[in-house]
Amino acid sequence: MRVSRILRCLLGIDLALIERVELRSCGLITHLRVGARQRLRCSRCRRRCAKRDNGQGRRRWRALDMGSTRSFIEPDAPRVRCAEHRMVVADVPWANPGSGFTYEFEQQTAYLAVHASQKVVAELMRIAWRTVGRILSAQWRPRWRVANCSTGCVGSGSTRPATGAGTAT
């Protein structure tokens, strides 16, 4: 198995190509680029869009630590012109729009928050305790929106029928 494939598996990034890896004092930095199929999509609606410009250059997302070493993903972050959302940063397949963390990092943080205090989670993940709260609210929001829209129920996971819905007897 190639080293780049191992790194992609460890970082949770299937749809990207690794350009180079650096070990700096701040941690392991993986420079990559988004694969052709995922490139230049609106970060809100995921439609293919025309490239506007290079944005602010490269951006950095925090990934899960590799042992005792912090890990970061650093790709180019171009901006695209979407017909619906105007000019936005292009979508990346490893993180939510506006987040500075990968999906896996956020999911690990949310899982730990269920089983430990916010202070313990902050120490384990090496982030500020306020950031734990922000990650939890970001993890909750998409599920709430999907559950609320698709079932018509008041809350996520609710078994109560929507208002005005008939009940089978």
Closest CA to 156 of 138, 165, 144: 144
Which pLDDT tens digit goes with each residue over 7-36?
Answer: 888 888 887 889 999 999 999 999 998 877
Query: What are the pLDDT digits (tens) for 65-98?
Result: 999 999 999 998 889 999 999 999 999 889 888 8
Mean pLDDT, residues 49-60 taken together: 87
| pLDDT confidence of residue 141 | 62
pTM (predicted TM-score): 0.76
Query: What is the pLDDT confidence band of residue 102, given thresholds at 50, 70 and 90?
Result: very high
| Bridge-based pairing state of the strands 27-34 and 69-75 | parallel
Note the pLDDT of residue 75. Answer: 92
Strands ordered across the beta sheet of 86-89: 50-53, 79-82, 86-89
